[in-house]
């Protein structure tokens, strides 16, 4: 059985957050509970994730949001191959940005090394905690597929995504290990995962992002 570990960011994910909704609807999903959600030490979050992975085994998927993405990047620096099947990294907040909270420690600098497992970075064009350029840089360094979903803020409860079925479809494709690699020669996929599946004619995409044909999720 494939287990999925839910990795919220700072302050945890409230009951209306898509992470909480996914967890409530799938018994194979489990939240990694941290002792300190407000002013954590990154090393303590890494240790807690490592403990959880000891229990769940190598067929584990990671679903991270916000500072949870930095947690995955830091954990991956010292991990051995084969412990994680894949990771969905949503709205990776930038721990080096001026507006990153001052309480948490050890999250900066963000590790920029290739992850030893398949991954997808999902970003919004108006996320207050990470610029599109930085989110792209994270995806490129981590070897991740990059997916833009337009104006969705921090891709949290305030974004109004509900159960966010399009994001869940990305997770399922990771689980099935059958998703297509769209990032070739530095090109990344941009698509709107909030509503109509495919491109929005009115969407403004970052210069240099490779536009491919719309795909069904």
Three-state secondary structure of 178-205: CCCCCCCCCCCCCCECCCCCECCCCCCC
First and final CA of the chain: distance in angstroms? 23
Show pLDDT as tens, one digit a residue, over the chain (217 residues): 789 999 999 999 999 999 999 999 999 999 999 999 999 999 999 999 999 999 998 889 999 999 999 999 999 998 877 889 999 999 999 999 999 999 999 999 999 999 999 999 999 999 999 999 999 999 999 999 999 999 999 999 999 999 999 999 999 988 886 333 333 333 334 433 433 332 222 232 332 233 222 222 2
Stated pTM of the model: 0.83
Strand order in the sheet with 145-148: 29-31, 4-7, 60-65, 84-90, 119-123, 145-148
Contact 142, 3 (CB under 8 A): no
């Amino acid at each position: 059985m494939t287990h999925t570990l839910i990795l919220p960011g700072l302050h945890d994910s409230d009951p209306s957050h898509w992470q909480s909704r996914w967890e409530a609807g799938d018994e194979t999903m489990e939240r990694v509970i941290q002792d300190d959600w407000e002013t954590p030490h990154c090393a303590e979050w890494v240790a807690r994730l490592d403990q959880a992975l000891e229990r769940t085994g190598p067929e584990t998927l990671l679903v991270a949001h916000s500072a949870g993405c930095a947690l995955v990047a830091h954990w991956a620096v010292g991990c051995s191959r084969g412990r994680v099947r894949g990771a969905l990294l949503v709205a990776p907040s930038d721990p080096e940005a001026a507006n990153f909270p001052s309480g948490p420690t050890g999250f900066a600098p963000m590790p920029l090394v290739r992850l030893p497992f398949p991954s997808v970075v999902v970003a919004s064009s108006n996320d207050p905690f990470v610029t599109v350029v930085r989110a792209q840089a994270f995806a490129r360094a981590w070897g991740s597929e990059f997916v833009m979903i337009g104006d969705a803020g921090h891709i949290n409860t305030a974004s109004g995504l509900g159960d966010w079925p399009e994001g869940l479809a990305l997770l399922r494709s990771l689980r099935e290990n059958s998703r297509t690699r769209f990032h070739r020669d530095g090109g990344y996929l941009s698509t709107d995962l909030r509503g109509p599946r495919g491109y929005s004619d009115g969407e403004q995409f970052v210069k240099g992002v490779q536009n491919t044909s719309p795909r069904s999720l």
